[in-house]
Amino acid sequence: MGAVDLTTHPGHLARRLQQAHYLLWNTMVSEEITSPQFAVLNALVAEPGLDQRTVGDRVGLDRSTIAEVISRLGRRGLLDKVRDPQDGRRFLLRLTEDGRRAHRRLTVRTARMNQVFLAPLSAAEQDVFFDLIRRVSDAAEGLRNPGEPLAAKG
Amino acid sequence: MGAVDLTTHPGHLARRLQQAHYLLWNTMVSEEITSPQFAVLNALVAEPGLDQRTVGDRVGLDRSTIAEVISRLGRRGLLDKVRDPQDGRRFLLRLTEDGRRAHRRLTVRTARMNQVFLAPLSAAEQDVFFDLIRRVSDAAEGLRNPGEPLAAKG
DNA sequence: GGGTATTGTTCAGTGCACCGACGATTTGCT
DNA sequence: AGCAAATCGTCGGTGCACTGAACAATACCC
């Protein structure tokens, strides 16, 4: 009487999905570089010289979290941080040669892992999977800033 | 050259989904009791007197994490911990009256939040959403103990 | 040019999540 | 009965994730 079936709760399922992914990442991709760290490397491969905050936007991490992730990557020599001469508030981020190498290596392994992870679904189902998750996430993200109509700004 | 599209990476999507859920939970359900904490309360409503490790199994948390969650719930007076007289290793867990009240209150709010969270999907799509996530999570979970055929045990 | 608001980073605090190691207890085997 | 193995909880360490507050640098506006 009163207990609920958590398998119909999207939050619970989201947590389980992420745990499952964490497990596979650790065994198939890397034990040193985490998935969020890879996301940061990837963002800097696409757009070298971004500042911290923008990297955070790109990969979906807030200021505090991105600062820690970047600090860890910097400590391992995978990226460099230099003050922006044009704007003394920012740090500009750039991968080192080691960072680019790590990104290349992990890209291959990540692709393999994704195949294993998604193996239970047919190709068509995988597309649906992406679509549904994206729509739910985007909608919730949109509720964050209610007073921002996205098109009209003044 | 070399950067990857993270929107086709299930791990990245899983993280974003959980963040979206976290956001909605905090605004629509509770700022004090978190989603994993609610899962523990729910497990103990369904099966009072479980020990820590079994609760962890039910909600999908390892021993260390479940210990912290339970300690927080205990500190707030939502559950009681007593040594099992039959097995001195275990602690048996039981909700207090406050714990049951909190669970009832949050059950209602959680249902409302789930509706908002899933609103972007049609009813049929919601079923597919659950099914796909469950299948992927279960399969990855199954890779954890490779030598356990689930049916034959000796 | 000077005050105010905004922006980028950091820091403190809380909480989830994992692993590996440890001590205590129970179980199983002989 | 007695020892080895498994089991439950704890502890230490690492890392992600958020909030709110502080601080420095820049931008805006009169």
Q: Which residues contact A91 (CB under 8 A, 6 or more apart)?
A: A51, A52, A81, A82, A83, A84
Give chain A's domain count: 1
A119, part of any domain: yes
By C-alpha to C1' distance, D7 is nearest to: B89
Average pLDDT over residues A98-125: 97
Average pLDDT over residues B67-82: 97
Chain A closest CA to B81's CA: distance in Å? Answer: 20
Contact A23 B107 (CB under 8 A): no
Contact A11 B129 (CB under 8 A): no
A4, part of any domain: no
CA A99 to chain centroid:
17
Q: Are A54 and B54 in contact (CB under 8 A)?
A: no
User: What band does A143 get if pLDDT is binned at 50, 70 and 90?
Assistant: confident
Chain B closest CA to A69's CA: distance in Å? Answer: 15
Q: For chain B, where are the E strands, in sequence order?
A: 79-83, 91-95
Chain A closest CA to B84's CA: distance in Å? Answer: 24
B21, part of any domain: no
Query: What pLDDT score was predicted for residue A149?
Result: 43
A49, part of any domain: yes
Query: What pLDDT score was predicted for residue B143?
Result: 76
A99 vs A109: CA distance, rounded Å: 16
Cβ of B62 < 7 Å from strand C? yes
By C-alpha to C1' distance, D23 is nearest to: A89
A3, part of any domain: no
A32, part of any domain: yes
A78 pLDDT higher than 90:
yes
Residues 51-90 of B with CB under 8 A from A: 59-60
For B97, counting Cβ atoms within 10 Å of its Cβ (0-12 exposed, 13-18 middle, 19+ buried), the class is exposed
The CATH number covering residue A123 comes to: 1.10.10.10
C-alpha dist (Å) from residue B38 to A1, A10, A41: 16, 14, 35
A5, part of any domain: no
Sign of the Cα pseudo-torsion (B9, A60, A43, A41, in order): negative
Residue A87 belongs to domain spanning: 11-142
A140-146 contacts, C-beta under 8 A, 24 or more apart? A140/B20, A140/B21, A140/B23, A140/B24, A140/B117, A141/B16, A141/B20, A141/B23, A143/B23, A143/B24, A143/B27, A143/B116, A144/B23
**pTM tops 0.85, yes or no:** yes
A46, part of any domain: yes
B42 vs B100: CA distance, rounded Å: 9
Of A43, A60, A107, the CB nearest to B19: A60
A119 pLDDT higher than 70:
yes
User: What band does B1 get if pLDDT is binned at 50, 70 and 90?
Assistant: low
